[in-house]
Amino acid sequence: MLISSTGEITPRFFFLGNLVQQVFLIRGRENALIDAGMSIGGPIILSDLKQSLGDEKRLRWNLLTHSHFDHAGSTPYLQRKIPGLKIGASEVASQIFQNPRAVELIRSLNQDLERAAHLEEDVAFTGITVDRILRDGEILDLGLGTEIQVFATPGHTRCSLSFYLPGDQAVFCAEAGGVPDVDGNIMPEFLASFPDYVASLERLSRLQVKYVGLAHGGIIAGDEARSYFLRSLESTRAFQDEITDLFRKGQETREVVQTLKERYFENKKISQPYRAFMLNLEAKVKQVREILKLD
Ligand SMILES: [Zn+2]
């Protein structure tokens, strides 16, 4: 089952934002927001937080699955609006946020969308300082029986974390779990390392899961959630085979990227900004090319 409307999912976890930039509010004595969407989504998330918490200042944590522009984009805006909001992310993410070139890329990918959105407010991405480094195996105790387990799930990026709520058997993995398209096929997202991505999916597939909070497109629940990571593994292997096949047919990297762009982007199966889609596709083709050890 796919949950595509926002609101309370369980007393402990809420789906906020929208299907493009979705975030999850985890409630305990302290409240934590998982991810922050793109910068243009900041005002929507802030208003959702007001509604769910009564007072948005009751939000204590913004936990980031990874450093990508569409997950950390509105973090600086939320920090400007919620004084005292603390940021939790992996050590690698923390290092990325200290790299001026990475910050500029996040800012510029968000700015592309800000220009088109004509917002009245300044939502600019101005950089992030991580307050708490989250490590694999760590448990964040939010109080009132709410615990979040931290899993390092690299492969999509080097900095990817997944968050698991054992109380609700809910996992928030962002693109470490892949992204289902409009037909329900799961698009793999191994941008940083194919072997790490597969190992992370294998690890996620061993969790007891009733809810999978996706990167985009809603929440998978019930039986489909239980089988989600195994299906994601299958589609990862299938996509690897598809790319391998194009290389074996003699296509150059550039042609492989072009063929896949036509198959996936131009068929409107993917709802992702064009620049981000192409950056990601090039990275995935490069990953498979490395495995094939082509010169
Ligand atoms: Zn990402």
CA 72–ligand 1 middle distance (angstroms): 10
pLDDT (0 to 100) of residue 271: 67
Can you give the residue ranges of every domain in the chain?
2-231, 238-292
Looking at residues 6-13, what average pLDDT do you find? Answer: 95
pLDDT tens, residue by residue, 39-56: 999 999 999 999 999 999
**Residue 14 and residue 190: Cα distance in Å, rounded?**
28
CA 136–ligand 1 middle distance (angstroms): 19
pLDDT tens, residue by residue, 155-195: 999 999 999 999 999 999 999 999 988 777 899 999 999 99
CA 92–ligand 1 middle distance (angstroms): 14
pLDDT tens, residue by residue, 256-271: 999 999 998 877 666 6
**Residue 257 and residue 264: Cα distance in Å, rounded?**
10
**Residue 290 and residue 192: Cα distance in Å, rounded?**
12
Q: Which CATH class is domain 2-231?
A: alpha beta
Closest by Cα among 11, 192, 36 to 125: 36
CA 71–ligand 1 middle distance (angstroms): 7
Do the beta carbons of residue 17 and residue 6 sit within 8 Å?
Answer: yes
pLDDT (0 to 100) of residue 270: 66
Looking at residues 215-231, what average pLDDT do you find? Answer: 94
pLDDT (0 to 100) of residue 118: 86
CA 175–ligand 1 middle distance (angstroms): 5
CA 68–ligand 1 middle distance (angstroms): 5
> What burial class does residue 116 get, using C-beta atoms within 10 Å of its C-beta: 0-12 exposed, 13-18 middle, 19+ buried?
exposed
Let me know how long the chain is: 295
CA 206–ligand 1 middle distance (angstroms): 22
CA 189–ligand 1 middle distance (angstroms): 8
CA 125–ligand 1 middle distance (angstroms): 16
pLDDT (0 to 100) of residue 269: 65
For 237-247, b where at least 16 C-beta lie within 10 A, e where not — what string? Answer: eebbeebeebb
CA 144–ligand 1 middle distance (angstroms): 31
Q: Which residues contact 257 (CB under 8 A, 6 or more apart)?
A: 278, 281, 282, 285
CA 124–ligand 1 middle distance (angstroms): 19
Closest by Cα among 189, 186, 159 to 67: 159
**Residue 30 and residue 224: Cα distance in Å, rounded?**
31
CA 54–ligand 1 middle distance (angstroms): 30
Do the beta carbons of residue 56 and residue 49 sit within 8 Å?
Answer: yes
**Residue 96 and residue 158: Cα distance in Å, rounded?**
10
Chain mean pLDDT for the chain: 94
CA 47–ligand 1 middle distance (angstroms): 24
CA 215–ligand 1 middle distance (angstroms): 8
Looking at residues 96-113, what average pLDDT do you find? Answer: 95
What's the pTM? Answer: 0.94
Token output for 67: 């450093």
CA 282–ligand 1 middle distance (angstroms): 14
**DSSP assignment letter at 217:** S
> What burial class does residue 146 get, using C-beta atoms within 10 Å of its C-beta: 0-12 exposed, 13-18 middle, 19+ buried?
buried
CA 30–ligand 1 middle distance (angstroms): 26
The residue whose two tokens read 């620049």 is 275
pLDDT (0 to 100) of residue 295: 60
Q: How confident is the model at residue 243 (pLDDT cuts 50, 70, 90)?
A: very high
CA 168–ligand 1 middle distance (angstroms): 24
